[in-house]
Structure 1
Amino acid sequence: MTSKQVAFITGAASGLGKKIGESLLKEGKIVVFSDINQAALDEVVKEYQANGFHASGAICDVTNEESMNEAIDTVMALYGRLDILINNAGIQHVAMIEDFPTDRYRFMIDMMLVGPFIATKKVMPIMKNQKFGRIINMASIQAVVGFAGKAGYNSAKHGLVGLTKVAALESADSGITVNAVCPGYVDTPLLTNQMQDLAKTRGVDEADVLEEVLWPLIPQKRLLDVQEIADYVSFLISDKAKAITGQAIIMDGGYTIQ
């Protein structure tokens, strides 16, 4: 068994998951990057290993319980411990409810709510046995407010906050904390890829989405940087935050002040 803390991150081949993993590597942790995209995952692991970091990869479909269990079993076989779970895998689809495909809605719930449940179910006995664990669920401000056109995302993220609270209660006496991070709009491909749909649902040109749709909602009038989120995750898994559990922590540039 390694003496270093081990983190397992879903949806980690790009964007926010990758940046969180990078931050944890720089802190000296072992990071298992997980994703469904084998080619992208291999590139990420190769990149960090080439720079001397202790990174590895585990292919995983978070909507499939067998796949998730196999990935986590691989982590345990390699390192003998799992200290940090970050449920990050996500997807976006923007459409009004009457135009929202039901199969897409179900898939989003499976990925962003059922997937974190499966992962939490798997790691909870491991962490309880260790008397230590940190579970971070990457939620969204759309876990606490609604946004027209995002029925699937809003539903999944609202549910994820509920799961966070229950998991925190069920593990509070075992040295485990469970929290949901709720970022506002972050400068990642997930946001970039929804600009066209946001423009369509709001009746504006795609080039005007920031000025016409987002900036009126965000007092700071800026997108969050992925490093800001990664830094806060690092705080939450540290001993400095050991009394923080069951919380939906908002980082939104002032979006929810009003």
Structure 2
Amino acid sequence: MQKKTVLITGSTSGIGLAIARAFAQQGHNLVFNGLEMDGEQIAASVAEEYQIDYLFDPANMLHPAALRTLVEQAENRFGTVDILINNAGIQHVSPIETFPEEKWDAIIGINLTAAFHLTKAVWPAMKKQNFGRIINIASAHGLIASEFKSAYVAAKHGLIGLTKTAALEGATCGITVNAICPGYVKTPLVERQIVDQARSHQISEKDVIEKVILAKQALKQFIPTESIAAMCLFLASESAATLTGASLSIDGGWSAQ
């Protein structure tokens, strides 16, 4: 694949960092984003390792103006954003009757609304050059619900709806839009869930992993971040030029049940 500019939200840890490393290995320009205190150093380290050009911006996904500035800076630096990967996300687990309203707003804002704002921001340049790849990191919870995750399930279902709509609108101007729906990946977000659920259920973390986290996955193992990164590389490639509007499961057989 010819060198492109790739903007990945939440790319200084977890799934996003694995995706960033995969594109860096291919020699692409990278726009890193994340709220980690050492985010700039993480981005610089990846760029140095693979000898690529990069930009880091700690834009908060809840601030639309910051997201527009993020895209503007990327376009000023590299000319255009060719590939947008909406990956940033947060989670909160609670029954509906006690679900904090501020958590609902934050989860919808970061997991769904930010993807809309960024898609809107990169759209004109992608349309002008008649090329764009937008990849939304959704979740198995974008296809299947689980109790106590009302905001996350709603946001990820919504993200798949946004994916389909944008795919239809981009079909005539060289823009493809797809979603990846992973099962459980052992990211910092999931590791915190394991600790919280062990405390709330009063069971061991090992039992949480086996009896709660991976119970619905036919393959009783976490999804490797590298598998998601490899799917992103494929969706960004010319080989996937006619693949759009899809929700691709990498969930260990969860959604097959």
Q: State the TM-score bracket (shorter-chain normalisation).
A: over 0.9
Note the residue ranges of structure 2 that are not aligned, 5 or more in a row: none
Task: Give me the whole-angstrom Cα distance separating, in 2, the residues matched to 1:215 and 1:173.
Answer: 40
Structure 1 residue ranges without an equivalent (≥5): none
Which whole-Å CA distance do the structure 2 matches of 1:18 and 1:188 have between them?
A: 11
Residue number in structure 2 paired with 1:106? 105
* 2:39 paired residue number: 41
The answer to whether the Cα contact below 8 Å between 1:184 and 1:224 also exists between their aligned partners in 2 is yes
Confirm or deny: 8 A CA contact 1:23 1:234 kept in the other structure. yes
1:237 alignment counterpart:
236
Write the distance in 2 (CA, Å) between the matches of 1:48 and 1:214.
Answer: 31
In the other structure, the counterpart of 1:257 is: 256
SS of residue in 1 equivalent to 2:215: helix
Indicate the residue corresponding to 2:225 in structure 1: 226
1:43-63 CA deviation, whole Å, 9 max, x = no partner? 112212332232221221111
Deviates more, 1:88-97 or 1:200-209: 200-209
TM-score (norm 2): 0.95
The match for 2:30 is 31
Residue 171 of structure 2 corresponds to residue 172 of structure 1: yes
Hey, what does 1:50 align to over in structure 2?
Answer: 48
Residues 96 and 205 (structure 1), Cα distance of their counterparts in 2 relative to 1, 3 Å cut: farther
2:117 is paired with a residue whose SS is: helix
Checking the alignment, whether the CA contact within 8 Å between 1:25 and 1:55 is kept in structure 2 is no
Asked if the contact 2:55–2:74 (Cα under 8 Å) also holds between the matched residues in 1, the reply is no
TM-score by length of 1: 0.95
Aligned to 1:109, what secondary structure does the other structure show? helix
CA 1:201–1:162 in 2, change beyond 3 Å: closer, same or farther?
A: farther
1:203 shift after superposition: 6.1
One-letter identity of the residue aligned with 2:126: M
Seen in structure 2, the aligned counterparts of structure 1 residues 202 and 83 have a Cα distance that, compared at 3 Å, is same
1:174 & 1:194 partners in 2: Cα distance? Answer: 41
Match of 1:134 in 2: 133
The residue that corresponds to 1:60 in the other structure is: 59
Instruction: Tell me how far 1:28 sits from its aligned partner.
Output: 1.4
Structure 1 97/115 Cα, relative in aligned 2: closer, same or farther at 3 Å? Answer: same
**Which whole-Å deviations, capped at 9, do the CAs of 1:92-140 have from their partners, x for residues lacking one?**
1111111210111111001111100000011111100010000001100
Q: d(CA) in 1 for partners of 2:201 and 2:178?
A: 33
The one-letter code sitting in structure 2 at the alignment partner of 1:136 is I
Q: 2:193 aligns to what?
A: 194
1:206 Cα deviation after fit: 3.1
The 3-state SS of whatever aligns with 1:193 is helix
Aligned mates of 2:15, 2:85 — CA distance in 1? 11
- Report if aligned partners of 1:96, 1:201 keep a CA contact under 8 Å in 2: no
CA distance in 1, matches of 2:98, 2:195: 16
- The CA distance in 2 between the partners of 1:162 and 1:215, in whole Å, is 26
Q: Residues 208 and 247 of structure 1: is their aligned pair in 2 closer, same or farther, counting only changes over 3 Å?
A: same
Determine helix, strand or coil for the equivalent of 1:216. Answer: coil
User: Offset at 1:34?
Assistant: 1.2
Give the number of equivalent residue pairs. 255
